[in-house]
């Protein structure tokens, strides 16, 4: 199965190509929200593999939750490529893609949602398979529930909200605040999902979790001016 994967829900955008489980990946440094750089990386990746978009079986993208602009970018590019080549689209949770990096079976993923909030979810990871234990949610860091002593922590929220998440982090086995979702992991999960997870291009959408993009001045002050 040949799947092209895109991930731009965080500041580290990347593209990956999975050919029968063999994954080739390119990371875009400093150009996470620029479509021309994403498209150029896709062209280079396909050219290096000697493939055209019509040779693909599907296009996958990290559907979020994450940065609104990044989600719209990867979703839009995935839809455009899929429509042009007559392919299906596989949306993959960006938090689940991040969870694949966990060195332990159970993981609390928590990423910085900006505006004084955190995207968080809990997963079990076994033999490269990710099972959702608690669905993605968005809340102030003070409302992130403790995961328990048998969990590993991953994600940028642990760096963005050091004080607010100190108690949660103290209860974890370990934590990596620098980990971010990658297109390679999006591709791995898309391969596992297979053709049954393919949607028509026009039916694939980002998972925003939080619909509100901006806060009022009063709300920002109440949440400690985290932007």
User: Where do the domains of the chain lie?
Assistant: 2-93+181-203, 95-176
Q: Token pair for residue 2?
A: 């040949």
Q: Do the domains 95-176 and 2-93+181-203 match in fold?
A: yes
70 in Cβ contact with 180 (< 8 Å): no
**What mean pLDDT is reported for the chain?**
92
List 14's β-bridge partners, or say none: 7, 27
pLDDT at 81: 96
Mean pLDDT of 195-199: 95
pLDDT at 221: 55
Mean pLDDT of 141-159: 95
Mean pLDDT of 26-41: 81
pTM of the complete model: 0.91
How confident is the model over 102-141, as pLDDT tens digits? Answer: 988 999 999 999 999 999 999 999 999 999 999 999 999 9
Query: How far apart, in whole angstroms, are the C-alpha atoms of residue 116 and residue 113?
Result: 7
Model confidence at 54: pLDDT above 70: yes
* CATH of range 2-93+181-203; options 3.50.50.60, 3.30.110.60, 3.40.50.2300, 3.30.420.40: 3.30.420.40
Confirm or reject CATH 3.40.190.10 for domain 95-176, answering yes or no. Answer: no
């Amino acid at each position: 199965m040949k799947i092209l994967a895109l991930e731009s829900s965080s500041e580290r955008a990347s593209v990956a190509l999975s050919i029968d489980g063999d994954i080739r990946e390119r990371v875009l440094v400093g150009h996470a929200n620029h479509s021309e750089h994403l498209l150029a990386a896709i062209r280079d990746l396909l050219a290096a593999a000697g493939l055209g978009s019509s040779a693909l079986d599907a296009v996958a993208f990290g559907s979020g939750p994450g940065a609104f602009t990044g989600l719209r970018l990867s979703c839009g590019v995935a839809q455009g490529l899929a429509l042009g080549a007559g392919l299906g689209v596989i949306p993959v949770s960006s938090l689940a893609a991040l969870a694949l990096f966990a060195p332990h079976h159970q993981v609390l993923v928590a990423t910085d949602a900006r505006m004084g909030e955190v995207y968080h979810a809990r997963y079990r990871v076994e033999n490269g398979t990710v099972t959702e234990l608690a669905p993605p949610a968005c809340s102030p860091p003070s409302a992130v529930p403790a995961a328990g002593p048998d969990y590993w922590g991953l994600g940028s929220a642990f760096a963005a909200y050091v004080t607010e998440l100190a108690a949660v982090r103290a209860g974890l086995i370990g934590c990596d605040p620098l980990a971010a979702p990658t297109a390679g992991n999006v591709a791995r999960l898309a391969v596992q999902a297979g053709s049954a997870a393919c949607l028509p291009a026009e039916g694939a959408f980002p998972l925003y979790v939080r619909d509100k993009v901006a806060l009022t001045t009063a709300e920002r002050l109440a949440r400690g001016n985290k932007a």
